[in-house]
Amino acid sequence: MPDVLITKGLRAKLKERNIMFFPRMKVGHTIRDTGQGFEQASQHPADQIMPMGSYSYSLCSFAPCASIGRFCSIGQNIKVFGAKHPLDWVSSSPVFYRRRRFVKLTSQPPATPMPPHISAPLPVVIENDVWIGDNVILRDGITISTGAVIAAGSVVTHDVAPYMIVGGAPAKAIRSRFPDALRDAMLDSEWWLYNVTELQSLPISEPMAFLDRLGDLIHKNALMKRTRKEMTLQELIDA
């Protein structure tokens, strides 16, 4: 992942697209470019571009992460499980499946071919309107579904269902944010695909009334869905 220098020109392009960083970046700062796409109106940690959707923020960088949806709130010190070790072998040590490590530690090649083992962690997927508290550890390869909430300090080892609040180590379901029917209606509405300036005028603190008003506007063709439109940092530099 190359480092990109923040110039006056690049900073102006970022500002024009409402792309922010925390802590605030200055000209001359460098940032890691993962090559992943992100949307405008998003806030990134100052050390790395994250694959963020609009209106989302993350106070830290973490990897591997395939995508982060819209309207997500991600705290500090988030980590993803590292390399995977075989649990059903005689030994879980990488000296038995990493040739380079074997050679370095024994100064000789292995006598027989080593059994294959994929140790690289799989990327996590974070959907829309997810809130992750500080100091959370995520198992690699899991999906945090739309509307989920993860309590601070949790260790999440499985997928998290939509609109479910989980916490603990390992994390367990605490409760759903909404009754099943309302949860399903929220998911069916796909409200996160609409512009925040249009949503702001709706009763956001009253979910049922919000859905009623949203449905009326959709029925009148007064709202248009805004599908995810990503750019990469290099595309922004070249623009």
Provide the annotated active-site residues: 85
Stretch (H or E) spanning 183: helix 180-189
Cβ neighbours around 197 below 10 Å, total: 7
96: helix, coil or strand? Answer: helix
- Those residues whose C-beta lies under 8 Å from the C-beta of residue 108, and which sit 6 or more positions away, are none
Q: From residue 229, how far is each of 87, 144, 183, 224, 225 by CA, in Å? A: 41, 21, 26, 14, 12
Q: For strand 149-150 and strand 131-132, is the pairing parallel, antiparallel, or unpaired?
A: parallel
Burial of residue 65, with CB atoms counted within 10 A of its CB: 0-12 exposed, 13-18 middle, 19 or more buried: buried
